[in-house]
Amino acid sequence: MAQPASEVLDLPVLPLRDVVVFPHMVIPLFVGRDKSMRALEQAMEADKRILLVAQKSAETDDPGASDLYSVGTLAQVLQLLKLPDGTIKVLVEGLSRVTVDRVEERDGALQGRGVEIDSVEGRESREIEAIARSLMSLFEQYVKTNRKLPPELLQTLAGIEEPGRLADTIAAHIGVRLADKQRLLETSEIGERLEMLVGLVDGEIDVQQLEKRIRGRVKSQMEKSQREYYLNEQMKAIQKELGDLDDAPGELEELARKIAEAGMPKAVEAKAKAELNKLKQMSPMSAEAAVVRNYLDWLLGVPWKKRTKVRKDLKVAQDTLDADHYGLDKVKDRILEYLAVQSRVKQMKGPILCLVGPPGVGKTSLGQSIAKATNRKFVRMSLGGVRDEAEIRGHRRTYVGSMPGRIVQNLNKVGSKNPLFVLDEIDKMSMDFRGDPSSALLEVLDPEQNNAFNDHYLEVDLDLSEVMFVATSNSLNIPGPLLDRMEVIRIPGYTEDEKLNIAMRYLVPKQIKANGLAPEELAIEEDAIRDIVRFYTRESGVRNLEREIAKICRKVVKEIALAGPQPVAKKAPAKKAAARKPKALVIVSSKNLDKYLGVRRFDFGRAEEENEIGLVTGLAWTEVGGDLLQIESTLVPGKGQLILTGQLGNVMKESASAALSVVRARAEALGIDVDFLQKHDVHVHVPDGATPKDGPSAGAAMVTSLVSMLTKVPVRADVAMTGEITLRGRVSAIGGLKEKLLAALRGGIRTVLIPEENRKDLADIPNNVTRDLEIIPVKWIDEVLDLALETPLRPKSKARGKARDGGRVATVRGKSKPAGTARVKH
């Protein structure tokens, strides 16, 4: 060992794991420990010098003086980069060897005291030169057999003339143990260091040659096994020709046993056995064998004879349906009818229902309740956006990665041949060049055909007649042949009372539990629920109502958490505690509702607005339920044209033209200037222009708006109407009556005018709707005008009681009820 230099160093110490840095070596280091990062910061604040010392054990996370070697490297920080994950990447260059005689912690980092070590030759220069040449020769051989080192490294070493630096450079690039590299660092005599390197490099070359021999042996063994496999296959072929090939053991026997026990129909079993025999003749390693094996797995996964026992107890089924859903009597009755017939008929095909209604009324969840009530496995199959026929029928086996359709996949998943399938959003399917999935469903949903459904992948007939299919849809925008195969049950929007019952029975307890509240911590009163329905939601279903209730629960949870723990009350006697119901910690009523939900979003009570000229409230049906439809008209200078705005469809435009013709035909009788179109245009506008509108049911409302505009008589704001208009002035039947009446009720309308032909539909309207609305069936437009306008029109004396252009004019005196008008109240 050489004598150390006289300069004493007092620098930050950076402990290293599994690495030794030699002088003249530039290396990047990743630093993540707090003390190490603090040591780098101190070095950067000073002269950027730092002591690099290797740890004796890489597993030590917080090393001290005893965990570090006594010899390290004095290094210069060249570059420091802070990474996004909080660690530091630092580039350092080794300068010289250092003996560290003391390490202590100061200012959150390790500080070391030591002195630099000067390298000495220790031997004659000729001897050192000879050892260096021998080392270079061995290292060249090492680089040629080691693919990790670039050949350019040899050129760099050839340019190094100093033996000590040559030794340090080679030591940095050989893959030896940490202890060996540390011994090289601690050796200051150059000759001894070179000799150590010669032994280490020579040993590494021997290891590499041994690895090469092992690789060669493994390769020859693999070639031998492949040769044996080829000969075995030839032997099997010879045995097959001789007719004495035994059945392959193991997997093939297991497949044969499963086929025998699966209970397949005879045709399917014959197909499975043929595929199994084909598999026996194939090489287990071939790609085609994997395809056949996968096919047999799918075929065996089909529940050919497994089924659940359908519940026949109608009382239990009815209780199950009533417990999960409020109302929906038509659907429940249909399910109970099916179960009643099922109890008498053994082989009965499952019904195919289509539940049509706006979002949020419980169509999909009703499918789950039906499955529970009938004791069937439940499968939900979303068809929204499906545009590939193979999703239903599967892919043919000729394609790579082919698999069965989703019908077969779901049957395999539930393991029953009589589950309940919910075909969700059946009206959202589309088609493209890959086929039409709605046409593929024709076979699935046809009770006369689905007992032999053929999947393209399985290529065998599958009996779906025991499966109960329930489709859901927001509208009847379904291809005709597909719609014809299903029994349509309409689920209209909920009334206010139904929403109240649903919220109090299901939604409030559900959200209290979902938000971690106890039942005694929150009580939402009925008047608060009514206000949420009226002023914070405007929907046919209850999804937004549930969201608002969830919002209240979250705010109550936060309120309770901020208030801190409540004082524990003294325990009352058992009898008194049982008799007294615990009072809720937070009570939400209509008075403090805005505290939790903010300002009201919607206005309720349209009838409180002022009557206006030319503005009529119509009723519209949409896919999400009914809605109020404002229709306004005005007269502008022009040449007698009809201007229509509000993104109206063709049918609605024609309805507006018919309305204008009705008004012109009755102009004289209604006290309107017959020549009002000579110098004016009529502009009819339906607000909310971003929403497309179509349909004929706004005809009566358009006539009323035009008459009000031309006579300057305001229209009653508390009256809404719906009905198609004919040129004779007759108000014709419309559809979606319940949805429209619910929309009127939600909007605060008091009086609704409907066509006389729709009187029969009132039998399906709930009593609480007809109780809160004055529903008046009308037959002629004259009756509509008399009821909707603020004051009855007084026709001119010459036209009193006369008809014009085939129209019928009803003379109205005072406020008496027109002939044929019947007020319906329940």
Listed by start position, the domains of the chain span 4-117, 251-301, 314-490, 496-564+577-597, 606-799
Q: What is the pLDDT of residues 194-230, one digit of tens each?
A: 888 888 888 888 888 888 888 777 777 777 767 777 7
363 assigned ligand-binding residue: yes
Residue 565 pLDDT = 66
- pLDDT band at residue 823 under the 50/70/90 scheme: very low
Question: Residue 666 is which amino acid?
Answer: R
Residue 230 pLDDT = 74
818 assigned ligand-binding residue: no
Of the candidates 119, 697, 705, 708, the residue annotated as catalytic is 697
Using DSSP's 3-state secondary structure scheme, residue 10 falls into strand
Question: Residue 339 is which amino acid?
Answer: L
Is pLDDT of 325 > 50? yes
Distance of alpha carbon 407 from alpha carbon 422, whole angstroms: 11
Is pLDDT of 167 > 80? yes
Q: Do the beta carbons of residue 65 and residue 111 sit within 8 Å?
A: no
Residue 635 pLDDT = 92
359 assigned ligand-binding residue: yes
* Weakest mean pLDDT among 414-423, 439-448, 562-571: 562-571
Average the pLDDT over 157-175 and give the result: 81
Distance of alpha carbon 205 from alpha carbon 801, whole angstroms: 121
Q: What is the pLDDT of residues 345-370, one digit of tens each?
A: 776 676 788 998 888 888 888 888 88
What's the first-to-final CA gap in the chain, in angstroms?
114
Per-residue burial over 631-667, b if 16 or more Cβ lie within 10 Å, else e, is bbbbbeeeeeebebebebeeebeebbebbbebbbbbb
**What angle, 0 to 180 degrees and rounded to 10, lies between the N-to-C axes of helices 251-261 and 266-280?**
180
CB-based contacts of 452, cutoff 8 Å, min separation 6: 461, 462, 463
* Weakest mean pLDDT among 283-292, 457-466, 497-506, 721-730: 283-292
Number of other residues whose CB lies within 10 A of the CB of residue 755: 24
Tokens of 100: 């560290």
Residue 746 pLDDT = 77
Residue 794 pLDDT = 59
Is pLDDT of 446 > 50? yes
CB-based contacts of 617, cutoff 8 Å, min separation 6: 606, 628, 629, 630, 631, 701, 717, 719, 720, 721, 747, 749
Average the pLDDT over 223-247 and give the result: 65
Instruction: Supply the pTM of this predicted model.
Output: 0.57
CB-based contacts of 159, cutoff 8 Å, min separation 6: none
Determine what percent of the chain falls in helix, strand and coil, rounding each to the nearest 5.
45, 20, 35
The CATH code for residues 496-564+577-597 is: 1.10.8.60
Distance of alpha carbon 27 from alpha carbon 11, whole angstroms: 20
Question: Residue 230 is which amino acid?
Answer: Y
Which fold, 314-490?
Answer: Rossmann fold (3.40.50)
- pLDDT band at residue 720 under the 50/70/90 scheme: very high
Q: What is the pLDDT of residues 733-792, one digit of tens each?
A: 998 898 889 888 878 888 999 999 999 989 888 887 888 889 999 999 999 999 999 888
Residue 247 pLDDT = 44
Q: Is 697 a catalytic residue?
A: yes
- pLDDT band at residue 623 under the 50/70/90 scheme: low
Rounded to the nearest integer, the mean pLDDT of the chain is: 83
Distance of alpha carbon 523 from alpha carbon 516, whole angstroms: 14
- pLDDT band at residue 725 under the 50/70/90 scheme: very high
Q: Which of the two residues, 59 and 797, has the higher pLDDT score?
A: 59
Here the contacts of 649-652 (C-beta below 8 Å, separation 24 or greater) are 649/692, 649/693, 649/694, 649/695, 650/694, 651/694, 651/695, 651/696, 652/686, 652/693, 652/694, 652/695, 652/696, 652/698
Angle made by CA atoms 492, 496, 502, in degrees to the nearest 5: 80
Residue 396 pLDDT = 87
Is the domain spanning 606-799 CATH 3.40.50.800? The answer is no
* Weakest mean pLDDT among 35-39, 134-138, 417-421, 549-553: 134-138
- pLDDT band at residue 245 under the 50/70/90 scheme: very low
Q: Which of the two residues, 144 and 814, has the higher pLDDT score?
A: 144
Residue 239 pLDDT = 60
360 assigned ligand-binding residue: yes
Share of the chain above pLDDT 70, in %: 89
Q: Beta strands 352-356 and 487-490: pairing type?
A: parallel
Residue 724 pLDDT = 95
Residue 101 pLDDT = 87
- pLDDT band at residue 715 under the 50/70/90 scheme: very high
Is pLDDT of 582 > 70? no
Question: Within the chain, how many helices (H) and strands (E) appear?
Answer: 27, 24
Distance of alpha carbon 568 from alpha carbon 518, whole angstroms: 16
Per-residue burial over 59-92, b if 16 or more Cβ lie within 10 Å, else e, is eeeebebeebbebbbbbebeebeeeeeeebebeb
CATH of 4-117, one of 1.10.3720.10, 3.40.920.10, 3.40.50.2300, 2.30.130.40: 2.30.130.40
361 assigned ligand-binding residue: yes
Residue 573 pLDDT = 54
Of the candidates 377, 417, 740, 779, the residue annotated as catalytic is 740
Residue 812 pLDDT = 31
Residue 807 pLDDT = 36
Q: What is the pLDDT of residues 497-555, one digit of tens each?
A: 888 999 999 999 999 999 999 989 999 999 999 999 888 987 888 999 999 999 999 99
CB-based contacts of 703, cutoff 8 Å, min separation 6: 659, 662, 663, 725, 781, 784, 785
Is pLDDT of 656 > 90? yes
* Weakest mean pLDDT among 117-121, 129-133, 426-430, 577-581: 577-581
* Weakest mean pLDDT among 59-63, 123-127, 805-809: 805-809
Is pLDDT of 819 > 50? no
Residue 651 pLDDT = 93
364 assigned ligand-binding residue: yes
* Weakest mean pLDDT among 231-245, 395-409, 516-530, 590-604: 231-245
Q: What is the pLDDT of residues 18-67, one digit of tens each?
A: 889 989 888 899 998 988 899 898 889 888 899 999 998 888 888 888 88
Q: Let me know if the fold of 4-117 is the same as that of 606-799.
A: no
